[in-house]
Amino acid sequence: MNQPAPPPTPGMAPPAMDMPTTFAGLLQARTGVVIGPPAPTAAAPPPRVDQAALSDTDKQRFIDAVDALNLPDQTGISAFGRLAAIHADMSAHRMHAMGGDPATDPGQQRFLPWHRVYLFEFEQLLQTVHPEITIPYWDWTNPDEQAVPDWLVGVRPTVNIPRPGPGRVTVTRFPGTQGFDLAAVISGNVDPALPALADVEQTADFTTFASGLESIHDLVHVWVGGQRGTMSFLDRAPADPLFWMHHANIDRLWWQWHNSAQGQGQIPNLQGADAIMDPWAFTETDTRDIAAFHYTYA
């Protein structure tokens, strides 16, 4: 039978109490009022929208959420840094084409579905900060958006990207320093070997579409980063918030094509382990409908 604890001996300090570590904890200790995250809502998050259409409040909310996710824990690494490190391990995740026959190259076939899951994982983190945040897309196909968005020019966080990442990175950008502009990327005028977006969108074959869109995607990365900027390197590009908005636009273009007459029934050529979007358990089949990820595009 448990015996009650003896009263403290006179002159001795009272037993130590767990000290609150947050102001919410202080409030609870003092008043008994518990302040926690808002109750989940059954309403779906708002659609992903063009970054140019965001209100000032929505822009600041996105920036604040990225900052919150980039707060380091006791190891000095943040959730944002850990997510960025996944992209640094291309040998493990094979999410980009590496040459060879695009029809059988797992990286080419995985490029679009893998990054769809990657965006979803980031969006889920954002929504732990605010449930109504979605990733805005940067529509560089629009002549009015063929520059780094004004509201992001000064948003260049320092992110500690653990192995296999490069460690501490401060985002830098050198837009347009490679001698071409985004209009040339879209029109296919950077190099005769590279396609125009209009031709890519008219193809009726998944491999041709994915290969052409990835080439355009690569050029946008290079346009932003130049030779030395963060967006130009696989091991650190996700440290730049613009990375996620760029990829949301790539995902949007894929979704539009998937629902077009040309894209109907066109799916990646993936089997076995290649069809698993590691390090997550999602399969290629899961990625065919964005409704499974609870987002839409405005």
**At 176, which CATH number?**
1.10.1280.10
**Taking the mean position of all CA atoms in its chain, how far away is CA 292?**
17
**Is 5 a domain residue?**
no
**Model confidence over 164-207: pLDDT tens digits?**
999 999 999 999 999 999 999 999 999 999 999 999 999 999 99
pLDDT, tens only, 206-246: 999 999 999 999 999 999 999 999 999 999 999 999 999 99
Segment 126-152 shows an average pLDDT of 97
**Quick check: is 22 in a domain?**
no
HSE-up of 255 (CA within 13 Å, CB side)? 19
**What does the pLDDT average to over 82-91?**
95
Is residue 55, in this structure, part of any structural domain at all? Answer: yes
- How high is the pLDDT of residue 5? 52
Q: Does residue 23 belong to any structural domain of this protein?
A: no
Is pLDDT above 60 for 6?
no
What residues does 170 pair with on adjacent strands?
A: 158
| 24-80 pLDDT tens trace | 777 788 778 887 765 555 466 689 999 999 999 999 999 999 999 999 999 999 999
Specify the pLDDT at position 48.
97
Look at residue 82 and tell me if it is in a domain: yes
User: Does residue 112 lie in a domain region?
Assistant: yes
Q: How many domains, the chain?
A: 1
Please report whether residue 289 resides in a domain. yes
Q: What is the mean pLDDT of residues 271-296?
A: 96
48 - beta bridge partners? 297
Residue 15 has pLDDT above 90, yes or no: no
pLDDT given for residue 7 in this prediction: 53
Q: Which residues of 171-198 are buried (b: 16+ CB within 10 A; e: fewer)?
A: bbbbbeebeebbebbbebebeeeebbbe
Domain that holds residue 164: 46-293
Instruction: Give the DSSP H or E segment for 168.
Output: strand 167-170
Average pLDDT over residues 108-116: 97
